[in-house]
Amino acid sequence: MNLFDKLAGVFGKGTVMREKDSPAPSPQPVQADKAAQTAGDTWILPEKHREQLATLFETLVNPVNIHIFTQPGQNDQVNEFATAFCRDLSRISDKIVLHHALLDSEEAKKQGADFSPTLLLEPERYAIRYVGAPLAEEGRSFLEAVLMISRRDSGLAKESRELLSALNTRRLIKVFVSPTCPYCPSQVINAFKTAVERPGLIEAWCVDISQARQLADLHGVSSVPHTVINDQLTLMGLEPEQRFVAELATLRDAQSLIAALRRAPGERIEADLVILGSGPAGLTAGIYAGRAGLKTLVLEKNALGGQVSLTPVVENYPGYAQIAGVALMDITAAQARQYCEIVYEEPSAFETGPEGLTVKTATLEIRTKALLIATGATWKKIGVPGEIEFFGHGVNYCATCDGYLYKGRKVAVVGGGNTALTDALYLKNLGVDVTVIHRRDRFKAEQYLQDSVKRESIPLVMESQVEAIVGDKAVRGVRVKDAKTEEIREIAVDGVFVAIGETANTEPAIALGCELTKEGDIKVDERMRTSVPKVYAAGDVTGGGGARQIITAVGQGGLAAMKIFEDLSREKINTQ
Ligand SMILES: Cc1cc2nc3c(=O)[nH]c(=O)nc-3n(C[C@H](O)[C@H](O)[C@H](O)COP(=O)(O)OP(=O)(O)OC[C@H]3O[C@@H](n4cnc5c(N)ncnc54)[C@H](O)[C@@H]3O)c2cc1C
């Protein structure tokens, strides 16, 4: 846990949750430090945090002016907390200057502040604001923003800076967040970085949906992070920096951008190895294959870096005690690019023959000697009507991210494994009225989770299959069928959390006729070979050798490339 994480706690949460399945306490504004109070000098920050902040703020370069606007009678408790917190910061470092005004003041009108509390950071220079205090997880984005502003440097990658330098029209970015969402601060920082890079053109807001509910409803927010640009483009989830910047600059989403980035239509390419997927498995294989002298092409259908790019912090990758997922994959991709080419295309057809394989994409035809499938895994869907239609409008897959939206409301968790019961406990702890729906008569989850669910008196609907998710503009209920009586009934809920595990992305393997395991993963031997000659697989798509983790994906990717090299070399000798 780094300093930002530790300090995030002081914004209202005792501990900062990292694990996607771990329950967290609901955020409460912190109490003033009693020891400090008795000393006659009231601080809201405990002494150890003040010391850490003092060290951190030694790196401040330029002054940072924080303007806070409040209105008595509107969110009093949060106003008080936010003001006290900012006052503490300004007492720790004379580079932080606090200004306080009421919402009905001339200054508030000038700045367009109409929510209590609103915080502006260095408004004379940048357009960066928090609508609602930065509670819990957002403490991290707040401190990071203070440091970035003080440096007057966005810290954006070279490519992102280049893209933004061509921008000549205004952008207003609103990132909707919840205090318990671990992915949200990174998306907020994406937005703030662009506002620091192009002041005058880009304005970035962080909107806390637990405080500014009306604004969230206006934008139909039902999962976070939810980003709206110029009220025109809506982006769901945390995005890698370059993808976010490209979408911001072009006001087009990634899918349409990727189509525009394609190579010349109809181009024919010869390769030794084609790798599907640019996650840890695919990129590691690219490094090993390129270094072995194989002409290697990586095809990526979505964003570079796979699932890791969407993981806020990785703490179990050897060599890095803690690293942002995006940063880890940026480093890996930069290394991979030295040895192979990465193309944003996906296969549309395969042809196999004695000469090798042909991989066709929408615009390319690639003849290759071997193919490595490293397409990873995605959340499993229940596959019922309404699930896709209401995704982002009441259907969710990440309780830690989106649970807060349902505080005081009713949701169903679908599933019976560890993830489902952990999610149910987490939601219950947040104050959500949660019911678990499971198709079997018993849970697969570990006994201690089952005991906790019982102890918390979470209602269970067992032996019931979800038939449909129903609603109008958003989810209104789930239709379930009782396995014994076959009776169908509707349970009224505002949201559904699907928690039935992950599924391997096997479409290309199925198209090629590769054998799958009974769990639905690609079956491989010890050399990462599938049942189809010249086709190999690595990473989560194989089940990760029993653990879907970055290290197993990396290990399998490297191993596959070495075995491919050996197999191709042997073949070459045999044909000479
Ligand atoms: C929220 C979350 C947190 C996690 N935290 C951790 C952690 O802290 N530590 C850890 O070790 N692991 C963690 N994991 C697991 C880890 O991310 C995965 O095990 C790892 O990313 C697997 O790597 P991969 O290369 O096999 O697949 P992926 O990372 O899934 O990459 C697969 C890539 O293939 C692309 N693709 C899919 N289909 C096609 C196609 N047809 N053509 C071209 N490209 C395609 C995808 O777009 C994707 O980029 C986490 C996972 C999640 C979801």
Domain borders along the chain are: 3-257, 268-378+503-575, 395-500
**Number of Cβ atoms within 10 Å of the Cβ of 258:** 19
Q: What pLDDT does 1 receive?
A: 41
Is residue 17 over pLDDT 60? no
- Selection from 560, 411, 552, 371 nearest residue 494 by Cα: 411
Report the chain's C-alpha Rg in angstroms: 26
- Tell me the CA–centroid distance for residue 160 and ligand 1, in Å: 23
Q: What pLDDT does 180 receive?
A: 84
Q: What pLDDT does 436 receive?
A: 98
Question: Does residue 181 have an active-site annotation?
Answer: no
Q: What pLDDT does 405 receive?
A: 83
Minimum CA distance residue for ligand 1 atom 39: 375
Distance CA 139, CA 544 (A): 35
CA distances from 548 to 278, 540, 543, 552 (A): 16, 5, 6, 7
Q: Give the residue, 371 or 346, on which the prediction is more confident.
A: 371
Mean pLDDT score across all residues of the chain: 88
Residue 132 · residue 69 · CB < 8 Å? no
Q: What pLDDT does 570 receive?
A: 87
Minimum CA distance residue for ligand 1 atom 7: 314
Minimum CA distance residue for ligand 1 atom 29: 306
- Tell me the CA–centroid distance for residue 562 and ligand 1, in Å: 21
> Per CATH, the architecture of 395-500 is what?
3-Layer(bba) Sandwich (3.50)
| Residue 542 beta carbon below 6 angstroms from any ligand 1 atom | no
Is residue 37 over pLDDT 60? no
Question: Does residue 514 have an active-site annotation?
Answer: no
Distance CA 535, CA 284 (A): 17
The structure tokens 């480093």 sit at 331
pLDDT band at 506 (very low <50, low <70, confident <90, very high): very high
The vertex-68 CA angle with 67 and 69, nearest 5°, equals 125
The structure tokens 């987490």 sit at 426
Please give the CATH number for the structural domain made up of 268-378+503-575.
3.50.50.60
Ligand 1 site-directed mutation target among 550, 551, 554, most atoms within 8 Å of CB: 550
Q: What pLDDT does 241 receive?
A: 86
Is residue 313 over pLDDT 80? no
Question: Does residue 401 have an active-site annotation?
Answer: yes
**DSSP H helical segments within 183-253, as ranges?**
184-197, 213-218, 241-250
Q: Give the residue, 392 or 163, on which the prediction is more confident.
A: 163
Q: What pLDDT does 118 receive?
A: 97
- Tell me the CA–centroid distance for residue 173 and ligand 1, in Å: 28
- The per-residue b/e assignment along 531-550, b for 16 or more CB within 10 angstroms, e otherwise, is ebebbbbbbbbbbbbeebbb
pTM of the model: 0.62
- Selection from 432, 434, 430, 452 nearest residue 443 by Cα: 452
Query: Which of 27-36, 237-246, 384-393 has the least mean pLDDT?
Result: 27-36
What does the pLDDT average to over 565-576?
Answer: 83
**Number of Cβ atoms within 10 Å of the Cβ of 107:** 16
Q: What pLDDT does 302 receive?
A: 81
Neighbour-count burial of 282, counting CB atoms closer than 10 A to its CB (0-12 exposed, 13-18 middle, 19+ buried): buried
Question: Which residues are within 8 A (CB) of 101 and not within 5 positions of it... i.e. 6 or more apart?
Answer: 67, 68, 69, 107, 108
Q: What pLDDT does 265 receive?
A: 64
Indicate the residue type of 441. D
Q: What pLDDT does 429 receive?
A: 92
| Residue 42 beta carbon below 6 angstroms from any ligand 1 atom | no
| Residue 560 beta carbon below 6 angstroms from any ligand 1 atom | no
- Look at residue 264 and give its three-state secondary structure: coil
Phi, psi angles (nearest 5°) of residue 246: -65, -40
Query: Which of 8-12, 21-25, 182-186, 494-498 has the least mean pLDDT?
Result: 21-25
The structure tokens 């003080």 sit at 150
**Token pair listed for 350:** 């395969």
- Selection from 358, 355, 372 nearest residue 292 by Cα: 372
| Residue 345 beta carbon below 6 angstroms from any ligand 1 atom | no
- Tell me the CA–centroid distance for residue 277 and ligand 1, in Å: 9
Distance CA 98, CA 88 (A): 10
What does the pLDDT average to over 142-146?
Answer: 95
| pLDDT over 90 percentage in the chain | 64
What does the pLDDT average to over 521-544?
Answer: 97
| Residue 332 beta carbon below 6 angstroms from any ligand 1 atom | no
Is residue 543 over pLDDT 50? yes
**Among the options 330, 401, 494, 540, which is catalytic?**
401
Q: What pLDDT does 379 receive?
A: 86
| Residue 377 beta carbon below 6 angstroms from any ligand 1 atom | yes
Residue 42 · residue 74 · CB < 8 Å? no
| Residue 548 beta carbon below 6 angstroms from any ligand 1 atom | yes
Q: Is the dihedral of CA 388, 224, 301, 320 positive or negative?
A: negative
Is residue 19 over pLDDT 60? no
Q: What atom in ligand 1 is closest to the CA of residue 375?
A: 34
Is residue 521 over pLDDT 80? yes
**Among the options 5, 33, 208, 402, which is catalytic?**
402
* Side-chain-side CA neighbours of residue 150 (13 Å): 21
Ligand 1 site-directed mutation target among 311, 320, 524, most atoms within 8 Å of CB: 311
Distance CA 425, CA 22 (A): 9
Q: What pLDDT does 209 receive?
A: 92
Minimum CA distance residue for ligand 1 atom 53: 307
What does the pLDDT average to over 109-119?
Answer: 95
- Tell me the CA–centroid distance for residue 541 and ligand 1, in Å: 9
| Residue 280 beta carbon below 6 angstroms from any ligand 1 atom | yes
What does the pLDDT average to over 412-435?
Answer: 93
3-257 with 395-500: one CATH topology? Answer: no
Query: Which of 14-18, 108-112, 435-439, 470-474 has the least mean pLDDT?
Result: 14-18
- Tell me the CA–centroid distance for residue 345 and ligand 1, in Å: 17
**Among the options 5, 398, 521, 540, which is catalytic?**
398
Tell me yes or no: is domain 3-257 CATH 3.40.640.10. Answer: no
Neighbour-count burial of 65, counting CB atoms closer than 10 A to its CB (0-12 exposed, 13-18 middle, 19+ buried): middle
- Tell me the CA–centroid distance for residue 280 and ligand 1, in Å: 7
Q: Are strands 127-131 and 226-229 parallel, antiparallel or unpaired?
A: unpaired
Indicate the residue type of 148. M
| Residue 503 beta carbon below 6 angstroms from any ligand 1 atom | no
Is residue 551 over pLDDT 90? yes
Q: Give the residue, 171 or 243, on which the prediction is more confident.
A: 171
- Look at residue 257 and give its three-state secondary structure: helix
